[in-house]
Structures are given as structure tokens and as C-alpha cells.
Amino acid sequence: MPDMMLPPQAVIPHRDPFLLLTEVTEVTVGERALGYWDLTGDEPFFEGHFPGRPTLPGVLMCESIAQLGAYALLTRPDFAGRLALFGGLDGVRFRRQVLPGERLDLEVALGRVSARAGKGTGRASVDGEEACRCELMFVFVESV
């Protein structure tokens, strides 16, 4: 494992305002990854979700986990330059609110992966307390 991970933008195609991964801290290419998303509190969705009680939308937690999974996959030379699109989510559980200013720690483990699709599991937590877990299904397409 290299001492320094590539920034997410160097591996996955997501960009602001939809880059939901601050840093990848560990990766086993094509198998697993650890990372995090720092929520500054300035993200525009907090204003409307919910006024007076800002909360990170659960679907964005799942997307952040998926972006970390895409990072682990797209670091494989045979998948470089491709897009990993959601094929589905199963077993999603939200256990805790995530608030502005908190750091969402992420982990993902990939299971079966073929040239066309694959599966993985992911988890998001704050200070060691689980916020979300889910099973991800994805399909690969060529990027333009």
C-alpha cells in the first residue's frame, strides 16, 4: 500500500457539488477501502433537510459509501476509466443522525466482481458509532 493515496478526483469521476468523499486513507485495490467525508455544515442540503434540525440525508450516506467503493474498484487497472453505476441497494439501515460539522468515516468491502457488475458492503460511522450500513450492487459502463 502506498504511503499517500491518490485524491478521490484522480480516480473517480465525481466532482463538486456531488463529490461526497474527502479522502481515502487505505485501499486494497479491487477489494476494500477506508476513507471519510468531512461535513463542513456549509453543504446546501442542510438548509432544507431539515430547517432548524439539519441532518445528512441517508441516501447521501449510501452514495458516499458507493463513491468509496468506486474508488477501490477503479484503482484496478482493468477498470480504470470506466464508470461504476448503482445497480441497487439492499439491507440499508440508518442508525444515527449525522449532523453538520461531523466526520463520516467510511468503509467498504467488495464481494463478487465481474467485468460487468459486482457487489459490496459498506458502513458509515461517526466517532465509532454506526450511522448507516448497506449492501451495494453496481454495473460498469464505459465513460465518455
Q: Contact at 8 Å (CB) between 15 and 28? A: no
CB atoms near residue 130 (< 10 Å): 14
Cell numbers found for residue 126: 461517526
Quick one: how far is CA 63 from the chain centroid?
A: 5
Dihedrals φ, ψ of 128, to 5°?
Answer: 80, -5
Dihedral sign from CA coordinates of 53, 15, 128, 72: positive
Is residue 139 within 8 A of residue 84, CB to CB? The reply is yes
**Residue 49 a catalytic site member:** yes
- Active-site option among 14, 49, 82, 96: 49
- Which residues are catalytically annotated? 49
